[in-house]
Chain A
């Protein structure tokens, strides 16, 4: 076998675009998903019973079905109900819903690990409910589960390869495209594999920095 990476050169633009699509959709899904998870955890622990049941149903539904089926349902299924989304919209929604469901459970575990004494201390100190939630619950809970949350976000980034199936031109789609045009499978998939590896490593470092900045110095270490 002879390797010829110059056969990929004509596709540089496509590769860069694919990388941008994967990065942008991952960043958007991560931010939206974690924000949604913070809200869902609050309602799950403090909301009225019907709301809690609804949230739990959503979590179980998303955590117990394959991602590709969720994606196909949104993209190919919903048009039957009159909701036609662009491929990237369907992909972003599917990834956000998926990440939100998993990270709600991760975050809940972190919140439940906080000793009851801290809540009582917060009340004695006269902190408002919002202040308690932010300083006494959310940030310490985040510290507890930060490595798990990081992993979940990386899993969603890697899992985003599946969105190529509904014609989102992400990195995997570009790899498939190149392989179907120049038949250099080895080179195309090797390059894209290395890009994913770099993305995952880079993402972990980014989370470490973010954790150090927002959650306090020690958080990076566990990663």
Chain B
């Protein structure tokens, strides 16, 4: 009898908390639609503050980066003032679901869990892991496929996503040298201790912007995970406008210029054409 009561109480508690949770999830603060934003005259955008070259704080203490420039481009095109809201990668989606921002432009990748909470625009920024070669070493020019890695030395940060992926696909005869952290891996590449480096394009951009002795250019792409702009669910007008502006920016070279500026590399092949990678 006692246990039956106990079970009943447990069931009640479970039911109650589920209801509360569902209420919290189903009824987010009503998101501002395009008309509300235009009336307000200000576009509120969540941007990263600690993830160069997407978003960081410049020497003039102003936020800068690919995502910040994208936010400026969208706001200017929509003839709105821009309000930048610095977020961390953990709280960028809550900022959107609680209507503190209209858009999240914060190197956001797409996955099914996130797609349940928010909507995604078309992709606007490249993000990928790959093996990079030294643009200045002419003997590496021929490396453009996984098979070509055989006989070469690749440095990678142990345990990172690119390490796991590279370890799976590297051909026989590839020497993978694993280092403790990103900084050591970068040192190994810059000092010439490894011929190639497997890393993400933001890190490659960082190396290219700092050191002139070796310049990483993409040799083989390992994994593609482009970035999308996040919008609150059920906002079709805003979504249409944002996608229209992304398409326009891809066509007129705006994003190509941003890529050259922040990643020191052109957009990947087919990216501007909207090919889903």
Q: Which residues of A contact B (CB under 8 A)?
A: 72, 75-77, 79-80, 84, 87, 164-167, 173, 176-177, 180-181
Contacts and interface: CB of A to CB of B under 8 A. Distances in A.
Contacts of B158: 176-177, 180
Interface in B165-212: 177-180, 184, 187-188, 191-193
A165 B191 contact: no
Give the interface SS of chain A, mostly helix, strand, loop or mixed: helix
29 contacts: A72-B187, A75-B193, A76-B187, A76-B188, A76-B193, A77-B191, A79-B191, A79-B193, A80-B191, A84-B193, A87-B177, A87-B193, A164-B180, A165-B179, A165-B184, A166-B179, A166-B184, A166-B188, A166-B193, A167-B177, A167-B178, A167-B179, A167-B188, A176-B158, A176-B180, A177-B158, A177-B178, A180-B158, A180-B163
A181 B193 contact: no
Sorted from nearest, which 7 A-B pairs have the closest CB atoms? Answer: A180-B159, A167-B177, A79-B191, A76-B191, A76-B187, A79-B192, A180-B158
A171 to B, nearest CB: 15
A63 B190 CA distance: 29
A29 to B, nearest CB: 20
Nearest to A79: B191
Interface of B: 155, 158-159, 163, 177-180, 184, 187-188, 191-193
Contact of B159 (A80, A164, A165, A181): A181
A180 B156 CA distance: 13
B36 to A, nearest CB: 47
B175 to A, nearest CB: 10
B133 to A, nearest CB: 17
A215 to B, nearest CB: 41
Nearest to B178: A167
A165 B193 contact: no
A181 B159 CA distance: 7
Contacts of B188: 76, 166-167
A164 B180 CA distance: 8
A167 B157 CA distance: 10
B171 to A, nearest CB: 20
B174 to A, nearest CB: 14
A167 B189 CA distance: 13
Contacts of B178: 167, 173, 177
A84 B179 CA distance: 17
Given A166-B179, A167-B177, A167-B178, 7 more contacts: A79-B191, A84-B192, A84-B193, A165-B184, A167-B155, A176-B158, A177-B178
Contacts of A87: 177, 193
A73 to B, nearest CB: 11
